[in-house]
Amino acid sequence: MFTITLLCCIRQGLFVPVKDTKMVLPTWVCVIFAVIVFGSGQGLAMFLPVIYVQGSHYQIGLDIGKTFYKEINDYYDVTTQLKSEYIPWYKSPEGKKLFEGFLYVANTSYPQYIQELQGIADGIERPFYQVLLMNMQPELSGLLHPNQLIFPDACSDVMVNNNHTVAYGHNEDNAVSIRNRGYVVVAKVKGNATLGIRDESFTAYSYPGILPGNAFGFNDDGLVIAINALFPAVVQPKKTFRNIITRALLAAQSVKEVDSILADENFGCAYGFSVNLGVLPSDDRNERPHIYNYELAPQNSLPGSNVSKYMVPRGDGGANNGSYFHVNMYRRIHITQGKRFTPSSVHRTKRIEAMPNPTSIEDIKQILGDTADQQYPIYRHPTQTDPEDTIATALIDLRRCTMKVYRDNPKTSTDPLHTFRLPCEDDDVLFY
């Protein structure tokens, strides 16, 4: 097995080889294509491009759209619901009213992310409303199919916190159409001090044409996020849709600010989801890493979100083993979920509970890579019973300050495709 790394810079749609990889080109976009090629006749190749962007919110959206023009348009085209359901809904009187309500809320609270979406729309040469519809898929699936799962029940997370390990792993599950069209965004975003919009610096795995933050990633303030889909029975109109809130998390500078973003006191979340948050130590924070799990649910007609926050306790070697997991069912908020999740979530839960409690990174990999339940495995590939695909796995080691990304089964893989360095204040220290 060997790795090929290609670094290119793109300007106005042209690929230009880079001789000095440290050059600063504000109007350019640098893309790394890391390809792992397997020998021995296996015939399997995996890739995950990394795009480096810099500029305003609109500019980074535009650069992402232009760079991944084909991947994003292909993904939109193979998402048949866009043409058959979302656009007709948008053009109906009721749909247009609900659409305008979601847009009003997002533009009121986070106009910079609406500009980001406008940049993507201009980059891929599609109407803005179609890009917004694709970013509202969780809410639209709940509105249009309240008793049937159309949007994937996606992702599994396993967390460990003890004297030796502070880490969590995340299986990114979704439609197989995303696997070879996704990318990692490394962004330095220029804010607007006049409007109170701060600069941002983050790294995030992103779906094609979807705002960063909806999968997994981290920012330079030492916060690491990974998202699980949840499926409350009701979608609340004129509230904040999920992908806006998760995008805002990448700009958070503290746990307190994460709490505020998720509470969203002026409006509240329109639909449910779960956030797994890793917090690195810093001079003005805790002395060792922490891991939290949040569950969110809409508050009916009341403003604000229904939020449950849980900190994974440090294991003591006794009854408290210092581990936790989350899939696509509510564990703490008592809410009607109806038929919005498939048997996969039930099966994954039972299988994780049947396995030994994890105490190490190797244990996390064993769980996330488990395929013992052949009908509904934890590590997923499309089958007749389970159509979803584990398109990437992130292994986040908060003591050693790394985020490793796998495209194959982490249980059997010898190497991650990418290893990203987390922003620890002292790169040589393991925190205890």
Residue 287, pLDDT score: 73
Dist CA 204 CA 416 (whole Å): 16
| Range scoring the smallest mean pLDDT among 35-39, 269-273, 351-355, 400-404 | 35-39
Burial class (CB in 10 A: 0-12, 13-18, 19+), 116: buried
Identify whether residues 408 and 281 lie together within a single domain.
yes
Average pLDDT in the 326-346 region? 85
Dist CA 235 CA 297 (whole Å): 9
Name residue 255's amino acid: V
Dist CA 201 CA 170 (whole Å): 22
Identify whether residues 164 and 287 lie together within a single domain.
yes
**Structure confidence by residue, pLDDT tens digits, 125-183:** 999 999 999 999 999 999 998 776 665 678 999 999 999 999 999 999 999 999 999 99
What tokens appear for 280 in the block? Answer: 């690195």
Residue with the larger pLDDT of the pair 138 and 43: 138
Could you tell me which of 362, 358, 365, 430 has the C-alpha nearest to residue 401? 430
CA distances to 159, 361, 362, 368 from 399, rounded to whole Å, are 13, 11, 15, 20
Contact 376, 348 (CB under 8 A): yes
94: which residues sit within 8 A by CB, 6+ positions away? none
Identify whether residues 278 and 226 lie together within a single domain.
yes
Identify whether residues 46 and 125 lie together within a single domain.
yes
| Position 208 in a domain | no
| Position 93 in a domain | yes
What tokens appear for 243 in the block? Answer: 């992908």
Dist CA 328 CA 336 (whole Å): 13
* Residue where a domain stops, chosen among 144, 169, 194: 144
Question: What total of structural domains would you count in the chain?
Answer: 2
| Position 431 in a domain | no
Identify whether residues 71 and 161 lie together within a single domain.
no
| Position 69 in a domain | yes
Identify whether residues 323 and 402 lie together within a single domain.
yes
Identify whether residues 96 and 173 lie together within a single domain.
no
What tokens appear for 307 in the block? Answer: 């939020």
CATH assignment at residue 296: 3.60.60.10
**Structure confidence by residue, pLDDT tens digits, 219-273:** 999 999 999 999 998 999 999 999 999 999 999 999 999 999 999 999 999 999 9
Identify whether residues 235 and 296 lie together within a single domain.
yes
Q: What angle do CA 398, 319, 166 make, to 5 degrees?
A: 5
| Position 186 in a domain | no
Question: Structural domain of residue 81, as residue ranges?
Answer: 2-144
Identify whether residues 139 and 164 lie together within a single domain.
no
| Position 206 in a domain | no
Average pLDDT in the 85-110 region? 98
Identify whether residues 112 and 52 lie together within a single domain.
yes
Identify whether residues 87 and 166 lie together within a single domain.
no
Average pLDDT in the 12-31 region? 40
Which run of H or E residues covers position 171?
strand 166-174
Identify whether residues 123 and 161 lie together within a single domain.
no
Average pLDDT in the 114-134 region? 98
49: which residues sit within 8 A by CB, 6+ positions away? 31, 32, 33, 34, 68, 183, 184
Average pLDDT in the 52-58 region? 98
